[in-house]
Amino acid sequence: MRQAVRGVMLPRVHRVRKGGKVYRWHRPTRTKLPDDIPEAHPDFIAAWAAAEASAPRPVETAPAGTIAAAVTAMLGSRKVKGYSAVYRHVVRREADEIRAEYGAGPMTGLRENHIRADLDKFAASKANARLKVWRLICGHARTAGTISNNPCAGLQKIPVQTDGFAPWSADDIAKFRTHWPFGSTQRACMELVFWTAARTVDAVAIGPQHIGSDGVLVFRQSKTGGRAYVPWAAPLPLWAQSWAAERDQMLQAIACLSGSLTFLQTSHGRPRSIKGLGNVVSTAAREAGLVERSAHGLRKSRLTMIAEAGGSAHAIMAWGGHKTLAEAQRYTEAAEMRRLVTGAGQGPEQERNAVNRAAVAVNLPKYL
């Protein structure tokens, strides 16, 4: 929609009319602009100018034949565009670092020892992520005919054994909540990720539009394409009845940030960035005295809680947005094993059932 205001129209303004009212955003930055004043008003122009100043500047075209040009070509390739939003984010992060440090160098001069020297600067996990991107760059350059040999051909990933991101304990959650009160951005970000078990790439995008008339929050996982189903205003299942107060805490916490499009918008009315959300949670955790706690660890905690509360693998699959049952069963298997050695809340019949479920989970003969 185009709407002239006193004969003047500011460029790069997106205008939408609803119910007789015009809503405006700055198109490049998606910054919300004032709705209740004319575009010629000094306050509107000031808001527009601030958005213009924050807009990213066009990236200069890299000289042909350079590593920077090869990075740009790789990022624009059909292969990379076909990746999930999560993995594209990882690839772009590493590619931007490579371009910034080595972009001016000639692609034809790149050798295995150069890439090895770059990888040697990092710990194993980071080095493996960097190697994947070097392979993408060199593979695309070889296909395009920029280079004749692939300098990554002799490089191998470093074997890494890890359980991934550490889940948060109940004490961790309590400590974080004590340090960060309602009304703080840190508390809002933690509570939303913890309740929804959403990855950061999805948590920054979900909003009121994802809540159905049945009170269930439904959104598609960027990583797997599977749908996640989270009880937002709907009655909780029997195994989660004790979580009602916790859900209320989440709703109270996000009230300070929720906008019309996303639950975790910034103070400028823009969607929060994926990296920004992860940094908010991890930095806030450190300031609360927690070590190595991340946003993804909150996801693992919620899914573990579902299993320990008695939720089935299918319940974990639905809440977590897993595409296969096997992914969700890892949580139920661990929960069954814990119940077997603690006997928490079990009589003889419940213990026999737990043994049978655990036996099925690990493919052992049934107890009965």
Q: What is the pLDDT of residue 341?
A: 72
**201 vs 137, more confident:** 137
**306 vs 35, more confident:** 306
- Which amino acid type is present at position 267? S
Q: What is the pLDDT of residue 337?
A: 76
Report the CATH fold assignment for 170-323. hpI Integrase; Chain A (1.10.443)
Q: What is the pLDDT of residue 164?
A: 67
Distance, in Å, from the CA atom of 103 to the CA atom of 16, rounded to the nearest integer, reads 41
State mean pLDDT over 227-256: 94
Check whether 350 has a pLDDT greater than 70.
no
Q: Quick: pLDDT tens for 87-108.
A: 888 899 999 999 999 999 999 9
Q: Quick: pLDDT tens for 41-52.
A: 878 888 888 888
What SS3 class is residue 310?
Answer: coil
Task: Work out the pLDDT band at 331, boundaries 50, 70, 90.
Answer: confident
**354 vs 301, more confident:** 301
Task: Give, rounded to a whole angstrom, the gap between the first and last alpha carbons of the chain.
Answer: 70
Check whether 160 has a pLDDT greater than 80.
no
Domain ranges across the chain: 1-46, 67-144, 170-323
Check whether 144 has a pLDDT greater than 90.
yes
207 closest CA partner among 249, 256, 260:
260
Q: What is the pLDDT of residue 108?
A: 95
Distance, in Å, from the CA atom of 191 to the CA atom of 233, rounded to the nearest integer, reads 15
Q: What is the pLDDT of residue 148?
A: 93
Helices (H) and strands (E) in the chain, counts: 15, 5
Looking at the chain, the whole-number percentage of residues with pLDDT higher than 70 is 88
Length of the chain: 368
DSSP per-residue codes, 295-308: HHHHHHHHHHHHHH
Which residues have CB under 8 Å from 314's CB, separation 6+? 325, 328
Task: Work out the pLDDT band at 228, boundaries 50, 70, 90.
Answer: very high
On the 0-12 / 13-18 / 19+ scale of CB atoms within 10 A, 290 is buried
Q: What is the pLDDT of residue 343?
A: 60
- H helix intervals, 150-221: 170-179, 185-196, 200-203
Mean pLDDT of the chain: 85
136-140, 152-156, 234-238, 361-365: range with lowest mean pLDDT: 361-365
Place of tokens 């960097």: 130
190 closest CA partner among 105, 54, 97, 301:
301
Q: What is the pLDDT of residue 366?
A: 35
Q: What is the pLDDT of residue 29?
A: 87
Pairing mode of beta strands 216-220, 13-18:
unpaired
Check whether 60 has a pLDDT greater than 80.
no
Q: What is the pLDDT of residue 365?
A: 38
Distance, in Å, from the CA atom of 300 to the CA atom of 164, rounded to the nearest integer, reads 10
State mean pLDDT over 15-26: 85
